[in-house]
Amino acid sequence: MINYNKRNMGWVSALGQALGQAGILLLILVMASGCRTMTKQPGAVIGPFYKPTNYHLAGGEMPVDMRRVALLPLTSALDTREHQSGRAILQETLHTQVAHAGLFEVVTVPPSKMEALTGKPAWRMIEELPNDFIERIMKEYDCQGVLFSHLSVYKPYPPLSIGWRMGLVHLNSESNNGTVVWEIDEVFNAGEKQVINAAIRNGVKNGLSDPELDYDFGLLNSPRRFGRYTAEEVVLTMQRLLNPKNAGYNDRERVPHDPGRGFFYGQTAGNRK
């Protein structure tokens, strides 16, 4: 019995060692499989990533008295059905992103109210405004600033393309005048790899994206979702007025993009991240 037990114990010991080795191998395979799976999980979007560059921060900081800003009706380059749809989709998206940024309290001016106050349902910043435009807006909304927004490009079919021209204007009731604090002129083209990467990463961050699906479905075929990404990226450049140290450039590195229009690159090519 004793010899029999020793033989069996030896067999059990050998079996245990074999199972132990098999278990280690299985664990390695599971870990390797897990690593492969993790690379497919949201958040594993590889760059390069697109960053807006064609914007200008006048003075580099937010005026201390800018507590409330009136978001004026969104305009567009064309009055086609596509652009009308784009304005309807992106007006609310833009309001949400500006409000979420927390730079100031934001109130939306409906086109009907704008027409009642100024005679037109919408105005562009480059237009000649009525003499009492600022006075009427400030009196009606008790605001210290207005935000003009314009869709310079709106292409709602693949590859999607959305262009924003915007300007934040600080109002002065005494002179009935305004000073441009921030302006941007940027086009996001979903046909560019960097824009695709940045859009998908933005969707992942907000829990609205799956990197494996978005190349063929979802975000890159949805004007609403792609528009949300573009609006958030545009507003992020405005946030640097609150923390100019994080702007990523200094005066020496500002390079004119189009001297005739007065816009500037936010970063030189060598300093983009």
Euclidean distance between CA atoms 182 and 56, whole angstroms: 6
| Beta-strand pair 145-155/75-76 | parallel
Residue 177: what pLDDT?
A: 83
b (16+ CB within 10 A) / e for 23-55: eeeeeeeeeeeeeeeeeeebeebeeebbbbbbb
Is the separation of the CB atoms in 156 and 86 below 8 Å? yes
pLDDT reported for residue 173: 76
Q: What are the boundaries of each domain within the chain?
A: 1-38, 55-271
Cα gap 204→47, rounded to integer Å: 14
| Tokens 């969104």 -> residue | 74
pLDDT at 208: 66
Burial grade of 194 (CB within 10 A; 0-12, 13-18, 19 or more): middle
Strands 263-264 and 68-71: unpaired
Taking the model in full, what pTM does it have?
A: 0.72
Q: Which CATH architecture has domain 55-271?
A: 3-Layer(aba) Sandwich (3.40)
Letter string b/e over residues 167-191, b meaning 16 or more CB atoms within 10 A of that residue's CB: bbbbbeeeeeebeebbbbbbbbbbe
pLDDT truncated to tens, each residue of the chain (273 aa)?
Answer: 333 344 444 533 543 454 455 444 444 443 444 443 333 444 467 889 999 999 999 877 889 999 999 999 999 999 999 999 999 999 999 999 999 999 999 999 999 999 999 999 999 999 999 989 999 999 999 999 999 999 999 999 999 999 999 999 999 877 778 999 999 999 999 999 999 999 988 888 877 665 555 555 567 788 999 999 999 999 999 988 876 544 443 333 333 333 333 333 333 333 333
